[in-house]
Chains A and B, each alone.
Chain A
Amino acid sequence: DIQMTQSPSSLSAFVGDRVTIACRASQSITNYLNWYRQKPGKAPQLLIYGASTLQSGVPSRFSGSGSGTDFTLTISSLQPEDFATYYCQQSHSAPRTFGQGTNLEIK
């Protein structure tokens, strides 16, 4: 099975900051990489697929990059609704493993 590892596990930032979250796969997944945001008490929301393509309706402050085993999610200017937990997920093969999550907190 492919293991997904995110870093950092938690992160504190101010509204307006630029933040980057990393995700590493245990083997190459080309660009079969999704990013989700989960607000407290809610179901997750798809942000990015194919490592870098924004899902319809997702604000342009979100961007993704990477290929092979190393990927990043960047939020260019944090908004209050962005303080949440972020997960990467590989869609290269089953089981469709998630990273352990990155909790983004307001400073």
Chain B
Amino acid sequence: EVQLVESGGGLVQPGGSLRLSCVASGFTFSNSWMSWVRQAPGRGLEWVANIKQDGSEEYYADSVKGRFTISRENAKMSVHLQMTSLRAEDTAVYFCAREEEVGRQWLSYGTYRYFYAVDVWGQGTTVTVSS
């Protein structure tokens, strides 16, 4: 069974740090982009960061750039989110997610267009930033 299990959430004071982890199972982890997506209480989904299969590329939402770092350990089938300088607005459920190539479209000029989407989600871990 394909599964993602997050851990590391909790209560932290403003300005503090927290490290989230996500362990994958049931698929070839090293073949997949991995992402973190968060959802503040009663709010919508916010994409946070993602990391390429070999860890050579990382991308971040502007709201967390410079404060959060995504990393991965393919041998341990895990991805992490190091969060520093936490703010009240970082309070959310954080979902670990697999971003997979879900399809491709043949283009008339002899190449493909590749489509990526989150097709597997963890159950989420809650981060609360409060004094």
Contacts and interface: CB of A to CB of B under 8 A. Distances in A.
A21 B115 CA distance: 21
Contacts, number: 67
A50 B102 CA distance: 9
A16 to B, nearest CB: 27
A50 B44 contact: no
Contacts of A96: 35, 47, 50, 59, 99
B24 to A, nearest CB: 15
Given A96-B35, A98-B46, A46 B122 contact: no
Contacts of B118: 34, 36, 44, 46, 89
Q: How large is the interface on A (under 10, 10 to 19, 20 to 34, 35 or more residues)?
A: 20 to 34
B62 to A, nearest CB: 6
Contacts of A95: 47, 59-62
A89 B116 CA distance: 11
Main secondary structure of the interface of B (DSSP, over half): strand
Contact of B117 (A1, A38, A46, A94): A46
Main secondary structure of the interface of A (DSSP, over half): loop
Contacts of B35: 96
A44 B60 CA distance: 20
B105 interface: yes
Contacts of B59: 94-96
Nearest to A87: B45
A98 B117 contact: no
Interface string B57-96: 0011110000000000000000000000000000000010
B12 to A, nearest CB: 23
Interface of A: 1, 30-32, 34, 36, 38, 43-44, 46, 49-50, 53, 55, 85, 87, 89, 91, 94-101
